[in-house]
A and B are shown apart, each in its own frame.
Chain A
């Protein structure tokens, strides 16, 4: 069984927002909606400062708060680790929006909650999510964490001391690993 995960190399991100636009195009989102966003942060004081972009999207947690709080069981986690919302069961109570530490869920105008699905329709056919393929600096890396020969597995094995998960305090155990600045 595949166990999908992603590595985001924060040091490479230049803040061009191509991933966001690609995601919006693919998922037919309006301009103010997106499944991923960049958290922009500035450190220091001129002239010694730097600015970082942290690409944030659904972390596909192994211990997802959105799944445990969902009152109808519409939020669920697949065996391959992708967290999804079953739009038929979603009643739009918005409790999962309140429970998500990453603030990545949006309300669709059809009345259900949606978020990054790791571009399931591409991944199931052996492809890559749109935010990965569109990135010009190769910030994101997507693959199967269970396959020891996959690019992402080798990368994680080599850089394990540099990788962190986002907002570890919540014990959500994300599937997205960040290489921090």
Chain B
């Protein structure tokens, strides 16, 4: 092991980076849909809000499991180390998981009302006084369903930058490590952010168009929700192609070491995984399917195709697989490179 490279972060870290991106992307797309058209794109906003918290929780479990001492993870949250991206990221993830659970609660159906439930339970009690004061407080009143909707835009405004930061942070975490030429690339955080948004959008589309769309979808929904989610996905794919090209371009030009590191994906050990899965399965196949879906609208200017859940399903599943393989390749390839001096 000494002087050579050994793997200290295994696939659990890749899973974590992937699902944190899915969460951040789902949250961001949910808030975006809410701001663009509250009524029109309600489905996207709702599904995004329902998805967002759960991949993150799985990711945190993986992240903690990867520690050599999993039960000491709380030490991350009793200190702030300004210089450490991981310390800042731990706090960021804490804030984001709270916000995404709040958003989840705000979007639940009206019949689930925690505040009303508490008030109902305490209705006939007159002591202790503390409970009565809680019951009659204006805070609890403002937490009942009819009032809760007003908090959605506020939460969106706060949560959107936090979600974007989470998407960027997963890249910055690796990107700041100057001895690892494969990671130390200014395009890496951007690549992770675009991939996060893309996989988040895909996860919303997977639930909305594939699982819920299995039974068929009304024409109106095809023209609003489905069209928008596929268009967003389409443009993010173009963006991710550009970032991948610039990432490789950066590897070749930043330094001799990173050009050496680029060989890992350009003919080296991870070539097939990177080009076969992360690029072809993750971007090109869904890109072609999106073109097929959106062609009538963008080019022919005719009505959209009839809803076929399998096209949406294959597109989004491919994006999700590609997003995971991209993280996997980057985590492993980064550890296989170390700065070399002559």
Q: Does B137 contact A (CB under 8 A)?
A: no
**Pairwise interchain contact A91-B339, C-beta atoms closer than 8 A:** no
Q: How large is the interface on A (under 10, 10 to 19, 20 to 34, 35 or more residues)?
A: 35 or more
CA distance A169 to B81 in the complex (A): 25
Residues of A within 8 A of B180 (CB): 98
> Could you count the A-B residue pairs with CB atoms below 8 Å apart for me: how many are there?
97
Q: Does B153 contact A (CB under 8 A)?
A: no
**Pairwise interchain contact B84-A71, C-beta atoms closer than 8 A:** yes
A170 touching B179 in the complex, CB below 8 Å, given contacts A91-B67, A91-B69: yes
**Pairwise interchain contact B68-A91, C-beta atoms closer than 8 A:** yes
* Choice from A68, A91, A97 contacting B8 with Cβ under 8 Å: A97
Type the 1/0 row for B316-342, where 1 means its CB is closer than 8 Å to any CB of A.
000000000000000000110011010
**Pairwise interchain contact A73-B81, C-beta atoms closer than 8 A:** yes
A167 touching B84 in the complex, CB below 8 Å, given contacts A72-B75, A91-B75, A107-B8: no
**Pairwise interchain contact A72-B83, C-beta atoms closer than 8 A:** no
**Pairwise interchain contact B69-A111, C-beta atoms closer than 8 A:** yes
CA distance A103 to B124 in the complex (A): 67
Interface stretch (choices B21-29, B85-93, B156-164):
B85-93
Q: Does A93 contact B (CB under 8 A)?
A: yes
Q: Does B3 contact A (CB under 8 A)?
A: yes
Q: Does B218 contact A (CB under 8 A)?
A: no
Q: Does B310 contact A (CB under 8 A)?
A: no
Interface-centre pick from B2, B90, B334 (highest chain A CB count, 10 A): B2
Type the 1/0 row for A109-126, where 1 means its CB is closer than 8 Å to any CB of B.
001110000000000000
Q: Does A70 contact B (CB under 8 A)?
A: yes
Distance in angstroms from B15 CB to nearest chain A CB is 16
Type the 1/0 row for B1-36, where 1 means its CB is closer than 8 Å to any CB of A.
111010011000000000000000000000000000
Interface positions, chain A 63-104, Cβ under 8 Å from B, are 65, 68-73, 89-95, 97-101, 103-104
Q: Does A34 contact B (CB under 8 A)?
A: yes
A98 touching B8 in the complex, CB below 8 Å, given contacts A71-B90, A91-B73, A107-B68: yes
* Choice from B83, B87, B174, B338 contacting A103 with Cβ under 8 Å: B338
Q: Does A159 contact B (CB under 8 A)?
A: no
* Choice from B2, B9, B87 contacting A71 with Cβ under 8 Å: B87
Residues of A within 8 A of B112 (CB): none
**Pairwise interchain contact B339-A101, C-beta atoms closer than 8 A:** yes
**Pairwise interchain contact A68-B69, C-beta atoms closer than 8 A:** no
* Choice from A70, A97, A169 contacting B339 with Cβ under 8 Å: A169
CA distance A101 to B87 in the complex (A): 20
**Pairwise interchain contact B81-A91, C-beta atoms closer than 8 A:** no
**Pairwise interchain contact A98-B75, C-beta atoms closer than 8 A:** no
Residues of B within 8 A of A104 (CB): 2
**Pairwise interchain contact A92-B84, C-beta atoms closer than 8 A:** no
**Pairwise interchain contact B2-A98, C-beta atoms closer than 8 A:** no
Type the 1/0 row for A10-46, where 1 means its CB is closer than 8 Å to any CB of B.
0000000000000000000000111001110000000
Residues of A within 8 A of B1 (CB): 32-33, 106
* Choice from A56, A68, A98 contacting B9 with Cβ under 8 Å: A98
Give 6 nearest A-B pairs by CB, closest first: A92-B68, A37-B2, A71-B87, A101-B179, A111-B68, A71-B86
- Chain B interfacial positions (CB closer than 8 Å to A): 1-3, 5, 8-9, 66-69, 72-73, 75-76, 79, 81, 83-87, 90, 174, 176-180, 334-335, 338-339, 341
